[in-house]
Amino acid sequence: MTEKSDKLDVAVVLVNDGYASTAVGPIEVFSAAGTMWNEMCGDDPEPRFRVTTASIDGAPVRSAYGLNIAPDCALPDLGPVDLVMVSASGPVPDDWMARHAAIPPWLAERYRTGTRIAGVCSGVAFLAEAGLLAGRTATTHSGVAEGFRQRYPDVDWQTDLLITEDAGLYCSGGVNAASDLSLHLVERLCGRDVAIGCSKALLLDTPRPSQSGYALLPLARPHGDDKIREAEHHLTAHFTREVPVEELAEVAGMSRRNLMRRFKQATGHMPGVYQQMLRVSAARKMLEDGAPSIEQVGLSVGYEDVAFFRRVFKRHCGATPSAYRDRFRPGRA
């Protein structure tokens, strides 16, 4: 995969008064994907990304602690890319959003043309300012969360999560989460084997499964029913045990019948099926990590009957748990 057409294009947007590691870290992760670990193992490098840096006007930016970084180009001169990642700026949007006013509309236009957009730490504010996160789940640094909630009340802020993914929009928490988000994107775009090799080469933690800080795979279509969103969050937090519909109705503050109707209308699924999908998502990650015991995986996600677990898993994934594990386990070519 050394031909130009085989690589994905990533643009890292540099901002003034930001945190240099939230730009440099992703640059190194994407540049190392398919190359560094291969070389360490004596194999030919197979670079998976071309990385370009850009600032608003193409001029060097100065980080919060005095590091000057020269970009490759200005935003208007940047060609088509597959992914844009915005690095983190300061903690208070009021202080720097006006100086970076060109970024939000540029992000909105890129997203409209199909580009994936990612924000790191406080850089998530640029996505919110562009209107991209309205009605969607997002995270950011817990230290700026309250201010972001007030400034962007239409965003579903879930700051207990390290990473969120919603309709091609990716957000991460604190400064160090830049590497986590980058590895997550390497996995999403190039597969788990490439991400694991990248993490080994850079001595970073391997991409963590959903239960350890990542949002579970998006299960429902976007919707604006805040009460049902509360019920979804409750199911996500307690998916390993049986959650009665009456319990969800109490959480959402409505009758059982109304909960069932609105849940199906908002998410496209009944609560029981939604919980099955949550469990299967968690089970998939365990199997991708090479979990040796199908029975243990079933127990871990809430199924005591392994035969029933196998049937549910096959219904949602089209393959048995063992077949799925054999196909996607680490190290498989």
pLDDT at 294 over 90: yes
Spatial CA neighbour of 99 closest among 132, 129, 139: 129
- 301-318 per-position pLDDT tens digit: 999 999 999 999 988 877
CA distance 298 to 280: 9
pLDDT at 131 over 50: yes
- What does the domain layout of the chain look like in residue ranges? 4-212, 220-333
Q: Residue written as tokens 């949007």?
A: 93
**Confidence class for position 93, pLDDT limits 50, 70, 90:** low
Question: What fold is seen in the domain 4-212?
Answer: Rossmann fold (3.40.50)
Which helix H or strand E contains 314, and what residues bound it?
helix 306-317
Backbone phi and psi for residue 69, each to the nearest 5 degrees, phi listed first: -125, 125
Q: Taking each helix axis from N to C terminus, what angle separates 177-190 and 21-32, rounded to the nearest 10 degrees?
A: 30
Lowest average pLDDT, out of 125-139, 154-168, 219-233, 271-285, goes to 219-233
pLDDT at 213 over 60: no
- 197-207 per-position pLDDT tens digit: 888 788 776 54
In whole numbers, what is the pLDDT of the chain averaged over residues? 84
Backbone phi and psi for residue 254, each to the nearest 5 degrees, phi listed first: -150, 175
pLDDT at 165: 86
The DSSP output letter for 5 is G
Indicate the class that CATH gives domain 220-333.
Answer: mainly alpha
What is the value of pTM for the model shown? 0.62
* CA separation, residue 310 to residues 48, 235, 285, 297, 321 (Å): 35, 21, 15, 10, 6
Tokens of 118: 């990612």
CA distance 124 to 96: 13
